[in-house]
């Protein structure tokens, strides 16, 4: 990635921060963003832009900031996302606006802004989806739907903008971040729910943010040059299993 300009949205913590750190370690010039001020522990020379990607102007401004700092953007990683722990019946208009603005419109805005240049000089887009876009987590209706949108948009970009631009998605499973902890907290017995979920992972552990960052590093490299329009499940084998709990056998 030496000499490449990379944007990672939502890089203040969790999976986003792990991706930022990995790309920087691989030699990329990295720009990241969030809706708040620059985190105190964000290492230099990573550029921070305070931006809300759900806003068209902010998305375009992020692309321009990266170009000004380092040159044309060759890699975009759409990681920024939010979740609301509600069913359809419990969700209101404000829940819809929050989830769809960030998880759907934000990804769309960033892709559209990046493609204006990438369609000319080439580029690579990696969207962070979720296994929740394939199998529905309980009480996560809008989040589940938003990640299915990300997967569909990924395929469309690959088809419409190749061969100049490659576009793929990663579908993380249970990666131990604050969002995952919030999901387990919905259960009547969170500790029991977590133990049950762990027993369903053939690899014997939950994921770490670095597991996703490693997949991003591969998709960002020339070693994946023949890969586009794909959605990669990175979940420790959890969704490969039948509904029978292997821990009971």
End-to-end CA distance of the chain: 45
**How far apart are the C-alpha atoms of 34 and 41, rounded to whole Å?**
14
Catalytic residue among 48, 70, 108, 143: 143
- Per-position DSSP letters for 174-210, written without gaps between them: SB-SHHHHHHHTTSSSHHHHHHHHHHT-TTSS-B-HH
**How far apart are the C-alpha atoms of 17 and 69, rounded to whole Å?**
20
Residue for token pair 């060759």: 74
Active-site annotation holds for 143: yes
Question: DSSP letter at 136?
Answer: P
Catalytic residues: 143
């Amino acid at each position: 990635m030496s000499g490449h300009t990379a944007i990672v949205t939502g890089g203040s913590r969790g999976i986003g921060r792990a991706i930022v750190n990995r790309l920087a370690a691989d030699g990329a010039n990295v720009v990241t963003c969030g809706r708040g001020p620059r985190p105190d522990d964000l290492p230099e020379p990573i550029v921070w832009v305070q931006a809300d990607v759900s806003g068209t102007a902010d998305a375009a401004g992020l692309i321009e900031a990266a170009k000004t700092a380092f040159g044309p953007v060759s890699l975009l990683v759409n990681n920024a996302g939010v979740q609301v722990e509600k069913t359809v019946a419990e969700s209101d208009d404000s829940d819809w606006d929050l989830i769809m603005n960030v998880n759907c419109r934000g990804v769309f805005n960033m892709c559209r802004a990046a493609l204006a240049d990438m369609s000319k000089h080439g580029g690579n887009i990696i969207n962070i989806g979720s296994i929740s876009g394939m199998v529905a987590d309980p009480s996560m209706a809008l989040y589940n739907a938003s990640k299915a949108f990300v997967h569909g948009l990924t395929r469309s970009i690959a088809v419409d903008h190749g061969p100049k631009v490659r576009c793929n998605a990663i579908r993380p499973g249970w990666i131990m971040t604050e969002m995952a902890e919030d999901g387990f907290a919905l259960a009547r017995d969170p500790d029991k729910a977590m133990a049950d979920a762990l027993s369903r992972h053939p690899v014997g552990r939950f994921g770490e943010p670095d597991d996703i960052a490693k997949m991003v590093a591969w998709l960002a490299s020339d070693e994946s040059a023949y890969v586009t329009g794909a959605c990669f499940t990175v979940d420790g084998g959890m969704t490969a299993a039948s509904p029978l709990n292997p821990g009971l056998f």
